[in-house]
Amino acid sequence: MAQNKVLYRCNNCGHETSRWQGKCLECDRWDALSVVDETKTSQNLPLDPFRLRRMDTTHPDAGTIQPIPTGIAEADRVFSGGLLPGSVTLLGGEPGIGKSTFLLQIAASMAKRISVMYVSAEEGLNQISLRAARLFIHDSGMNLLHAFGTAEILAYAKDLKPDLLIVDSVQTVCDETVNSASGSVTQVRAVTENLVKFAKKMNTAVIMAGHVTKDGTLAGPKVLEHLVDTVVSFEGDRHHSLRVLTVLKHRFGTSGETAIFSMSAEGLREIPDPSGLMLADRCQEVPGSVVVPVLEGQRSLLVELQALVVKSNLANPKRQVQGVAGSRLAIILAILEQRAGCSFSASDVFVSIVGGIKVSEPALDLPLALCLASAFHDTKVDGALLSCGELGLGGEVRQVAHLDKRLAEGIRLGFKKFIVPASDADNLDEKSEGNKIEIIGVRTLREALKALTIE
């Protein structure tokens, strides 16, 4: 008889090996290997003939599951209507960004209509109540639990059978059957697997908070993304009040949607008109400022891009960015130098997107180049100008997605002049006639600079 091969798995990183070792070769943790239970193989399992079913989309229950609205309009828009029963959502963000605040506000809003259980392993009940008082949440009807173990949490949850279970946070909760510290990859994975099983079995919507750090040192959301149905990130600059909620993955709706909130003394507030807020303090008289219509999910948002170019005394001049990728800045500077004759080799360059928003889409290229050229030549750009377009390395301006949406947002906020890729401009003629706006189609960066007389 063939002997079953013994398999060992590291409790810390999950690495598998056929030989026992005192130290895991993958993560260097001592005494972390344990035997994997191989008794539950497919040969030993009895089959239930009723479990395997033919798909029937005409069944009365098929496709009738409706999302439960959170009651917070911006969050509902991001979640494509609300939280689906039985779905698991991971809310990732840096510590202190406002995840617990957001979750408590959602819990309070939903507890008016459905049964909600809010589990915190990070904060005691007193602390949660203090926060609730600060957010003017009284008599919400939600159930609070301060616990650390999944067995304990799920025992209470099985008893209460809530429609929504919130767990804050996945790194501080632990699975007692796993011999590893809270927050380790094995632990967060085990905790999540338990919560996913519970959600599917009980048809409960589950939201878990997970901490991420800028350098990704904390175990968490990255290794869990494939286990959960929805991944949302909560981001923002801690020195600014703006917070951006973005759906990174959504099995039951569109991903890429964003909602913008402002963190106030009384918790998170929805911002129905983020473009207006973003441009509120704009100073139009200074060179190096350009407004860009960026696309956040399905809608457009106007943000102000600023650049400062100053003479440098350093051997390696400074390049500092906020909200824009440093690698993108390097490319745009190279294009400007080679295709438009602006040399930044003796200058420190600072670029920032006002409001603490991060933009990674290529439509920012052309405005970034215009902004840098404006700062370089100390020539201000028309305050009523909006521009977007991707730049190729040859200095050519390329099309961007959903230009109509971007323009509509600009027109709504009173912008009159639009510099856009020439290949897109022809389709926009009717728009310009009706709205008394000027649309300038440009083929190259040089054409754009000429149109603005920044040379």
Stretch 265-294: interaction string toward ligand TYD, x if CB under 6 A: xxx---------------------------
With CB cut-offs between 5 and 8 Å by kind, which of ligand TYD, Mg ion, none does residue 265 bind?
Answer: ligand TYD
Output the smallest distance, CB 100 to Mg ion, in A: 3
Judged by beta carbon, residue 121 or residue 301, the one nearer Mg ion is: 121
Q: Closer to ligand TYD at the Cβ: 230 or 233?
A: 233
Q: How far is the CB of 51 from ligand TYD (least distance, A)?
A: 40
Please pick, from the candidates 33, 145, 263, 369, the single residue that binds ligand TYD as defined by CB under 6 A.
Answer: 263
Rounded Cα distance, 261 and 246, in Å: 11
Among residues 33 and 106, whose Cβ is nearest to ligand TYD? 106
Measured between alpha carbons, how far is 167 from 190 in angstroms, rounded to an integer?
A: 14
Q: Is 72 in the site for ligand TYD (CB under 6 A)?
A: no
Q: Is 95 a residue that touches ligand TYD (CB under 6 A)?
A: yes
- Give the burial string for 248-283 (b: 16+ CB within 10 Å, else e): eebeeeebebbbbbbbeeebbeebeebbeebbeeee
Q: Give the HSE-up count for residue 12: Cα atoms under 13 Å, Cβ half-sphere.
A: 12
Asked if residue 220 binds ligand TYD (CB under 6 A), the reply is no
- Contact region with ligand TYD (CB under 6 A), list: 2-10, 72-80, 264-272, 336-344: 264-272
How many CA within 13 A on the CB side of residue 421?
23
Question: Which amino acid belongs to residue 8?
Answer: Y
Listed ranges 152-160, 260-268, 384-392, 428-436: which one lies at the site for ligand TYD (CB under 6 A): 260-268
Site residues for Mg ion per CB under 5 A: 100
What are φ and ψ of residue 7, in 5° steps?
-120, 140
- Contact call for residue 236 and ligand TYD (CB under 6 A): no
- Give the chain's largest Cα–Cα span: 86
Residue 93, interface with ligand TYD (CB under 6 A)? yes
Beta pairing class for 258-264 and 267-270: antiparallel
Cβ proximity to Mg ion, 100 vs 204, nearer residue: 100
Residues in contact with ligand TYD, counted by CB under 6 A, come to a total of 15
Which of Mg ion, ligand TYD, none lies near 315, with the C-beta cut-off 5 to 8 A by kind? none
Q: Please, what is the minimum distance in Å from the beta carbon of residue 99 to ligand TYD? A: 3
Question: Residue 139, exposed/middle/buried by CB under 10 A (0-12, 13-18, 19+)?
Answer: exposed
Q: How far is the CB of 118 from Mg ion (least distance, A)?
A: 12
DSSP-derived pairing of the beta strands 164-168 and 205-211: parallel
**From start to end of 18-163, where are the E strands?**
33-35, 88-93, 116-120, 143-146
Q: How far is the CB of 94 from ligand TYD (least distance, A)?
A: 7
Q: Does 96 bind ligand TYD (CB under 6 A)?
A: yes
Least spacing, CB of residue 264 vs Mg ion, in Å: 17
Q: Does 98 bind ligand TYD (CB under 6 A)?
A: yes
DSSP string, 205-230: EEEEEEE--TT--SSSHHHHTTTSSE
Residues 113-142 that bind ligand TYD (CB under 6 A): 131, 134-135
The nearer residue to Mg ion, 145 or 303, going by C-beta atoms, is 145
Q: How far apart are CA 207 and CA 212, in angstroms?
A: 16
Tokens of 345: 């080799």
Are 382 and 419 in contact by the 8 Å Cβ rule? The answer is no
Which one of Mg ion, ligand TYD, none is in contact with 135 (Cβ closer than 5 to 8 A by kind)?
ligand TYD
214 binds ligand TYD (CB under 6 A): no
105 binds, among ligand TYD, Mg ion, none (CB under 5 to 8 A by kind): none
Terminal C-alpha separation, the chain: 83
| 45 touching ligand TYD, by CB under 6 A | no
Whole-angstrom distance, CA of residue 441 vs CA of residue 425: 5
Burial 395-414 (b: 16+ CB within 10 A, else e): bbbbebeebeebbebbbebe
Q: Which residue is nearest to Mg ion (CB)?
A: 100
Where does this chain bind ligand TYD (CB under 6 A)?
93, 95-101, 131, 134-135, 263, 265-267
